[in-house]
Amino acid sequence: MTDNATGQGDSSRSGRRVAVVTGASSGIGAATARRLAGSGFELVLGARRADRLAALAEEIGGTAAPLDVTSQESVDAFCAGVRRVDVLVHSAGGALGMDPVAEADPADWARMYDVNVLGVLRMTRALLPALTAASGDVLIVGSTAGMIAYEGGGGYTAAKHGVHVLAETLRLELCGEPVRVMVVAPGMVATEEFSLIRFGGDQAKADAVYAGVAEPLVAEDIADCVEWMVTRPHHVNVDLLVVRPIAQAAQHKVARSP
């Protein structure tokens, strides 16, 4: 792992709290990195797209390294370069397809479970000793899909339910240790890639998700929540923060204009 041109990657020199953000090359991950950097955190960024990651690191004065949370080898290499971590933000994730259960592709389900659940497991296991030493925070970007099912979302809702339960279990197991475990569960968030990836690059289908919705959430809204959660006094653990746009009362109840 290499520092960017500002030379600010070593927290022992800067004295700032260190935040590691996965999935930092776009969307909620990138917005979170910018927000935490603005709050004085030293950022260590991980994602698969090294070019976008390097540009963001240069922009915010952070450190970047390639990271694929579905690969134990990649996780090990990334975490070997992390000298200290006070906050671990699990933002890597995603959905694939909207097929009903009867027609679902098991490979898509396996991929969603791998990135949304096992990716969190791999990164948490690797960095938990450092987080414990620093009295740190584990913050998972979950989803309202981790709280309720909906048609066509079986694989994604199963994965997000899984990571929510992972967080609940970890919190129980760490009770008495100086590590907070928190989940932010966004509802409808319009980012540049989430729905586009879900529908295999079909822009029309991706656009239809937000059609007629006056103001869906944006990535910066979730970054704002993350910043608030990790900057509470350390005895305050925000177990679960659910955030939706005012136009969305539930997964199946969204106000849309004609």
Annotated active-site positions, please?
156
> Given the structure tokens 């070593």, which residue do they identify?
10
Nearest to 167 by CA among 236, 92, 239, 110: 239
Q: Which helix (H) or strand (E) holds 250?
A: strand 248-250
Residue 257 Cα distances to 3, 134, 167, 173, 216, angstroms: 48, 49, 37, 46, 13
* Cα–Cα distance measured from residue 242 to residue 192, given in angstroms and rounded to the nearest whole number: 21
Q: Are 49 and 27 in contact (CB under 8 A)?
A: no
Q: Are 35 and 220 in contact (CB under 8 A)?
A: yes
143 token code pair: 């989803």
- Tell me which amino acid residue 50 is: A
- Tell me which amino acid residue 44 is: V
Q: Are 38 and 64 in contact (CB under 8 A)?
A: no
* Cα–Cα distance measured from residue 227 to residue 83, given in angstroms and rounded to the nearest whole number: 22
* Cα–Cα distance measured from residue 209 to residue 235, given in angstroms and rounded to the nearest whole number: 39
The Cβ of residue 150 has, within 10 Å, a number of other Cβ atoms equal to 14
> Given the structure tokens 């390097």, which residue do they identify?
54
- Residue 228 three-state SS: helix
